Chain A
Amino acid sequence: MTVFKTYLKIFNQYKLIVILYTVILLVFAIFQMKNNENSLSFEAEKPNIYIDIQDENIGLTKNLVDYLSSSTNVVLVDDVSDALFFREVHFVITIPNSYRKDLLSGKNPSIHYQSTNDYQASLVQLLLEKYLRIQSIFLSSLKEESKTILSINKVLEQKATFTMNTHLDTYGLTKAKNYYNFANYAILAGLIYVVCVLNSVFRDEKILKRTKASSKNFKTFNIELFLSNSIFAILLWGLYVLFSFFLVGNVMFSIHGYFYIFNAFLFTMVSLSIAFFIGSFLKNKEAINGIVNVIALGSSFLCGAFVPITFLPKSVLYVVRIFPSYWFIQNNELLSTLEVIDSSAIRTLFFHFTILFFFLVFFLILTNILSKKNLQKETI
């Protein structure tokens, strides 16, 4: 209990910095999720385009604009070039002056476009080409503008029937996945920072000498300190879980949600063991910020916490298997795609849980070995 009481005293001294750091990370997590939410609904819906109508908006010109407005999101922007670069719009269409007049007089007008050359832009191009093809066919055979418009619109009414072969709440699960993937950074950074700051007090030379001189076994000391730290870790995990109920919603009350929560718990404990390991040898307080940034940012960038895992190079994904973050994020990704959590899915999930558990044990053993070596080396 001595270690625990001391830990609480130190925690009380540093509470302001601990709360500040935790709140900043939580705000980052919320902001990141809100940011991802926009891109998520954006992709599932229609692509954003900008139409520069230089022609009079009547007849065939109006029909083209109406068609594009119904099949895409036409947005108004102040600076088209910036909007294209930052992907607010994926396609910019310029309908030239006298477009309609040229069409009706049998000339071949040109439409200029700018594209971001991604999936959304390809979809708009597909829609535009399709429309122009239908327009050309009817205009050359019917000649009259009103009849052409009627025929174009009649043809465009044709829609194939489709079945969505899933009952997955894709939107909710993707939200949960994004939230918990980002929690990888927030939990890891939060724990390394706080555990290292608090443990560095125990690493102070005078206190360390007193600890070594005491009758307390270093293993008991380490276990007590680890358990003390785990109170903060569980509080941190609870905080993120609590916020996930508000931010993600119903999915968190399903079996998928319970797996997300358990996965995060296991990862929190692994992060704690990593933080505890680093805290057991780090003497320089000024180095903590650097270590937090390199380890937490590094594993988050490379394991897919910030960037969708499908966008990461295969070679990187192969190498990062040595990080616990990889297995944690793999579970999050898997859960977001599971229609039913059947025995095969549970096998995969538990395989990843086992690896995370091994990481936990590995870092705890490593910390004990290091503590023993330090004790032997520094005892005079």
Chain B
Amino acid sequence: MKLFFHNFLYSFKILLRNKVLVFWIMLFPIILGTFFYLAFSQIEKKESFEAFPIGVVVKDNSIMANYAKNVFQELSKDGQDKIFQMEYMSVLKAEEKLQKKEIVGYVICSSSLSFVIGNNGIYETILKTVVDQVMEEFAIYTTLLEKNEGNKKMDKAWIEKTGKEINTILQKSFVSLIDDSPSKLSYTMIEFYSLIAMTCFYGAMLAMTSVNKNLANMSFVGKRVQVSPTPKFHLIFSSLLASFLIQIISLIGLFFYTTFFLHIHYGEHFLWIVLLSLFGAIAGLSLGVFVASVLKSNENTKIGFLILITMFGCFLSGMMGITMKYLVDKNFPIINRLNPLNMITDGFYSLYYYGVHGKFFLNLFSLGCFSIVLIGISVWVLRRQAYDSI
């Protein structure tokens, strides 16, 4: 036991003194998390609807022009229904502002409505929808006038009277719209989940370094270890425990930093989050042991291989754009079912979006299976390993 603790302590010290490992496991996730935060902190806020600037040009005093003027005024008043920041202006001024991109477009109100836009996008589409709506509302009045009063000419008084009647109708009979939108729709969370997955799997480098230290074909220390009478299981297990501890420390650091400094809310299922992180860390560790024991190559190739697997797994699980995760989940589900980094990302996503749900347990189970299979193969490769004296 004393020897076990001795080896654990020295493995821990050796790993912590490896500056490159410490950078990738402890510093890089924090740096990347900061970049994510700075780049994505406003993205969802800026995507939610905000009133945008338009110009209104009133050309004459026709009924339509006055009607449209009133509608745009209503839609520019502060409150929930505000769509525009409207300003009355001349055509010349409107053209100038459109050129300078100070307004999205301008509406010309006369006996008919027309509008001018400077681009092709969602603001312009909304403006078009509203202008069409004004035309349609006006057509309602025309239809009602034809149906109810034959050839009577439309005037301001009639519009006011009919408008009141329409409001009464709408108060009495209207299909109500009930909002059932989920409260948690922040898709940028996927970026942070994939960051945690990445940290768990960078832990594979720790495990690999620890195992390499005990392999005779990897280093001089390994050769000495191989000829020593100490049980190999004790040596490898204590080294892996030290790697696991460092991995846990780096994960705690990442959670602490993202929660308290970047204000990322991982949700209320704290214990399940901890459990998933532990499973993720073990999966990362098992990959490291697997690569160290199965891949007969030098350390740099092994590290390159681990970084490649981790980055490709992160890419498929949505780190470089969440669309990728969704596309793979939807079109090639087997790939992400086998991708351990996606198991972690998807587990966190399930917890955040669905709560403690079957999908979460499926990911936990998959991670467990992944770890057991890799560790099983590694043990099989490492056991009773012997070298001939040449």
Contacts and interface: CB of A to CB of B under 8 A. Distances in A.
Contacts of A165: 95, 98, 116-118
Interface string A122-146: 1101111110111111111110000
A297 B125 contact: no
B132 A155 contact: no
Interface residues of A, number: 86
B14 interface: no
Nearest to A286: B20
A235 interface: no
Interface stretch (B149-157, B167-175, B284-292): B167-175
A115 B179 contact: yes
Contacts of A84: 182, 185
B128 interface: yes
B114 A301 contact: no
Contact of B42 (A108, A134, A311): A311
Given A85-B353, A136-B169, A155-B139, A161 B114 contact: yes
Contacts of B38: 301-302, 312-313, 316
Contacts of B179: 113-115
Nearest to A337: B101
Interface stretch (A4-12, A288-296, A321-329): A288-296
Given A301-B39, A310-B46, A111 B136 contact: no
B41 A313 contact: yes
Interface stretch (B227-235, B321-329, B381-389): B321-329
Contact of B126 (A114, A119, A163, A293): A119
A162 B117 CA distance: 8
Contacts of A78: 330
B225 interface: no
Contacts of A38: 323
Interface majority SS (helix, strand, loop, mixed), chain B: helix
Interface in B5-43: 20, 23-24, 28, 31-32, 35-36, 38-43
Interface string B119-152: 1111101101111111110111001100110000
B49 interface: yes
Contact of A170 (B32, B46, B119, B354): B119
A111 B98 CA distance: 39
Given A43-B121, A44-B120, A316-B38, A81 B182 contact: yes
Interface string A76-90: 001001101111100
B212 to A, nearest CB: 15
22 contacts: A35-B321, A82-B329, A84-B182, A85-B182, A111-B177, A114-B181, A126-B129, A127-B129, A141-B147, A141-B169, A154-B139, A160-B113, A163-B116, A165-B117, A165-B118, A284-B20, A290-B20, A290-B28, A302-B38, A307-B40, A311-B40, A311-B47
Given A137-B170, A171-B120, A316-B38, 20 more contacts: A85-B185, A85-B187, A86-B326, A109-B175, A110-B176, A111-B177, A113-B177, A113-B179, A116-B181, A117-B49, A136-B170, A141-B169, A160-B112, A160-B134, A162-B114, A164-B116, A164-B117, A294-B28, A294-B31, A307-B43
Closest 9 CB pairs of A and B: A86-B326, A301-B35, A158-B135, A122-B49, A118-B47, A160-B131, A160-B113, A311-B43, A301-B39
